Amino acid sequence: MNILIIGAGGREYSIGLALKKDDNVEKLYFAPGNGASDILGENINISDFNELADFVEANNIELTIVGPEAPLVDGIVDIFRSRGLNIFGSSAKASQLEGSKIFMKNFLNRHNIPTAKYIETDSLQVAYDFINTLSTPIVVKADGLCGGKGVIIAQSHDEAKKASGEMLSGNSFGDAGTSIVVEEFLDGYELSVFAICDGKDFVVLPAAQDHKKLLNNDEGPNTGGMGAYAPTPLVNDVLYAKIDERVIKPTLKGMEDEGMPFTGVLFIGVMVVNNEPIILEYNVRFGDPECEELMPLLKSPASELFYKASIGDLKNTKIEFYDKYAVGVVMASKDYPYKSSAPAEIIIDNIVHNDIKANSHISFAGVSRGEDDKLYATGGRVLVCVGIGNSIKEAQQRAYALCGQVHFIGKHCRTDIAYQALEIEG
Ligand code: AMP
Ligand code: GLY
């Protein structure tokens, strides 16, 4: 089949790589794709949803897979479905699980799904009164999409009040912050759990851990994610079962009962506190860079997983994963995450070591192809070096061996991705 992937990042590239290995897939298209995705398929420069649907009809595309949240929140799935086209992703209504933190928190509350104690409000006085009842740190969140920046972990009551004031006045995040959530701080360890959902049934992927901070030891500012690995040994069968029963099942039933069945990727940000899963947030798409590690672990054909989910037929589909580990290390450009950097040519050494060649690969993200046909680093997170292995240590060594073969001016990466897992693995 022919497949269209919407998006431009490493996440979409890794979905493309998985589909490329799949015998059922004939031609891949990316809208818009990046400077390297033209190796996997054809980049098309269309963003209007109806024009994309026209393109899909004209090119016999049987499935469209949506990577980022923005087109989902903006209703691409609704338009495609109204035209009878298969698309993998959540409807605009269902995407409120990510698009509005207030919707998400109230939904969790309505369906008794465990989450941090909170209030939602557009009144500064109500925020102040609630802040006074909490001990520090205190978490203040803007309601709408803020590109991952709308969460403040305040270390004092005054800081929490100041953050609430700045959000509510529209100074910090404009309209996205004119309603806020204030919540208690959860102290535990964080996981990324992904369920592929078809409205009723679901497949859970191996749990991942993301490293959001810029620097080793989880220090420095937050980023979109500097690396991730899966599966994490921080999850055992008991915890998976709790996540299934207490989180995913009531979420799918709740969404169906409320008239907005959830199809697509349910990305569950979990904080594990005393072995109990507590929900930090939902996203309606794959994590980036988590997707780059999960796609290579998929043993079943990727097209089958996404296609069956898009037509509501996961129930009769057995999806298998390799019994292996994947570690992904993000290589970022010089000034990431502070500002954009000048384009830098990317040079990748010929990989001579067979072991590295066979068990590692690059997922390209913030790259452009120059007029000289060379690849340039033009985004913040430029590419992800992914290593696969029989242990986390082996996967990590392979990922870092590959990082050593990639060169561009200003490149930097964390050197400790998967460190918590290694402490457990020993
Ligand atoms: P969110 O966008 O809600 O996932 O928040 C972004 C990040 O802030 C999360 O990945 C957590 O690291 C942190 N965070 C959010 N809410 C809380 C909370 N209630 N307690 C502790 N950390 C939190
Ligand atoms: N890596 C976290 C995210 O994609 O939101």
Q: Ligand 1 centroid to 20 CA: how many Å?
A: 35
Buried b (16+ CB within 10 A) or exposed e, 198-235: bbebbbbbbbbbbbbbbeeeeeeeebbbbbbbbbbbeb
Statement: 325-425 belongs to CATH 3.30.565.10:
no
What digits encode the pLDDT tens for the residues 230-289?
Answer: 999 999 999 999 999 999 999 999 999 999 999 999 999 999 999 999 999 999 999 999
Contact 232, 207 (CB under 8 A): yes
Chain region(s) in the chain for CATH 3.40.50.20? 2-91
Contact 197, 284 (CB under 8 A): no
Question: Which atom of ligand 2 is nearest the CA belonging to 11?
Answer: 4
Ligand with minimal distance to 68 CA: 2
Question: Which atom of ligand 1 is nearest the CA belonging to 187?
Answer: 21
**How far is residue 195's CA from residue 177's CA, in Å, rounded to a whole number?**
29
Determine if residue 204 is left, alpha or beta; phi over 0 gives left, psi from -120 to 50 gives alpha, anything else beta: beta
Q: Which CATH number fits domain 2-91: 3.40.50.970, 2.60.40.10, 2.60.40.1930, 3.40.50.20?
A: 3.40.50.20
Beta bridge partners of residue 66, listed in sequence order: 6
What digits encode the pLDDT tens for the residues 87-130?
Answer: 999 999 999 999 999 999 999 999 999 999 999 999 999 999 99
The reply to whether ligand 2 has any atom less than 6 angstroms from the CB of 210 is yes
**Residue closest by Cα to atom 4 of ligand 2:** 287
Ligand with minimal distance to 270 CA: 1
Chain region(s) in the chain for CATH 3.30.470.20? 189-316
User: 114 preceded by cis ω (within 30°)?
Assistant: no
Angle at Cα 235 formed by Cα 301 and Cα 269, nearest 5°? 80
Q: Ligand 2 centroid to 372 CA: how many Å?
A: 33
Question: Which atom of ligand 1 is nearest the CA belonging to 183?
Answer: 19
What digits encode the pLDDT tens for the residues 285-319?
Answer: 999 999 999 999 999 999 999 999 999 999 989 99
Return the amino acid letter for 381. Answer: R
Q: Ligand 2 centroid to 406 CA: how many Å?
A: 24
**How far is residue 68's CA from residue 52's CA, in Å, rounded to a whole number?**
16
The predicted pLDDT at position 426 comes to 67
DSSP-assigned states of every residue in 32-47: E--TTGGGTSEE----
pTM for this model (two decimals) = 0.95
Chain region(s) in the chain for CATH 3.30.1490.20? 123-178
Instruction: Name residues contacting ligand 1 (CB within 6 A).
Output: 116, 139, 141, 151, 183, 185-186, 190, 269, 280-281
**Residue closest by Cα to atom 6 of ligand 1:** 151
Chain region(s) in the chain for CATH 3.90.600.10? 325-425
Residue 114, classified by CB atoms within 10 Å of its CB into exposed (0-12), middle (13-18) or buried (19+), is middle
* Domain covering 189-316: architecture: 2-Layer Sandwich (3.30)
Q: CATH for 123-178?
A: 3.30.1490.20
101-110 and 249-257 helices, crossing angle to 10°: 100
Q: Residue 353 pLDDT more than 80?
A: yes
**How far is residue 38's CA from residue 284's CA, in Å, rounded to a whole number?**
26
Determine if residue 214 is left, alpha or beta; phi over 0 gives left, psi from -120 to 50 gives alpha, anything else beta: alpha
Q: Ligand 2 centroid to 205 CA: how many Å?
A: 15
The counts of H helices and E strands in the chain are 15, 25
Ligand with minimal distance to 150 CA: 1
